[in-house]
Structure 1
Amino acid sequence: MLLYLMAVAYILAGMLHFIKPRMYMAMMPPYLPAHYAMVILSGVAEVVLGVGLLFPATRQLAAWGLIALLIAVFPANLYMATSGKFHQFPAWALWARLPVQALLIWWAWLYTK
């Protein structure tokens, strides 16, 4: 059941990249190039990898892909916590996202075996 919850969560989160790209672009650190392209690519990756979790033949590869993706988006989470630009969120929530990233990596890792 948790596997399907994870898959649906990534598919929905990935779709949001297309529905609300500005929200994701605001999270991008200024030193990274091509914000819009990176938002779209990460959205595609979330959808594809989320779907990949649903099938035993692609589950392990999708889980490794999600781990890589979670590591790749970590700078955006760090930027959100440290930039001081996201006053609409409580500071504790922005900082809490950082260790939650480790939990999400662990959750994906469970399906790499």
Structure 2
Amino acid sequence: MLRILLALAYGYAGYRHLATPGPFLAITPPWVPQPEWVVMLTGVAEIAGAAGLMLPNLRKTAGWALALYALCVWPANFHHAIADIAIGGETLSWWYHGPRLAAQPLIIWWALWASGAIDWPFGNRRRAPHSPRP
């Protein structure tokens, strides 16, 4: 169930990157080259990762890719917080940014765990030899 939830979250986020790139462009750090392309490609990557989580043969690869993706976009979250960038005319307080920044390692772990790439901290899961991961 948690794998499906993660796939839905990444699929929706990818859709939003493609449908309304403005907020993502706004938080893209200035050192990122060709931000329009980067935002578009990150949307495609999120959708592909979400699909991969649902395909047993691609699940672990998708988990590693989404974990790496989450690590690579973390600077945009920091930039959003530190530069106090307004989205839709509103800035967000540290009540949003603090937990959001702290949650990124959890999101990275979630991608790895939900894909079956790791089973930490729960140890070896007892399951039938060919049953799919959660």
TM range (shorter): over 0.9
What residue is the counterpart of 2:69 in the other structure?
69
State the secondary structure of the residue aligned to 1:57: coil
| Structure-1-length-normalised TM-score | 0.94
Which of 105, 110, 118 lines up with 1:107 in the alignment?
Answer: 110
8 A contact 2:16–2:43 mirrored in 1? yes
What residue is the counterpart of 1:23 in the other structure?
23
Q: How does 1:16-95 map to 2 (within 5 A)?
A: 16-86=16-86, 87-95=90-98
* Bigger radius of gyration among the two: 2
Structure 2 stretches lacking a partner, 5+ long = 119-134
Shift of 1:31: 1.5
Which letter maps to 1:2? L
- List structure 1 runs of 4+ shifted beyond 6 angstroms: none
| Structure-2-length-normalised TM-score | 0.80
Tell me the distance in 2 between the aligned counterparts of 1:31 and 1:72.
Answer: 13
Could you tell me the percent identity over the aligned residues? 36
Please provide the CA RMSD for this pair: 1.1
State the secondary structure of the residue aligned to 2:58: helix
Structure 1 stretches lacking a partner, 5+ long = none
Question: What is the aligned length?
Answer: 113
Structure 1 or 2: more helix by fraction: 1
Which letter maps to 1:105? I
Shift of 1:91: 2.1
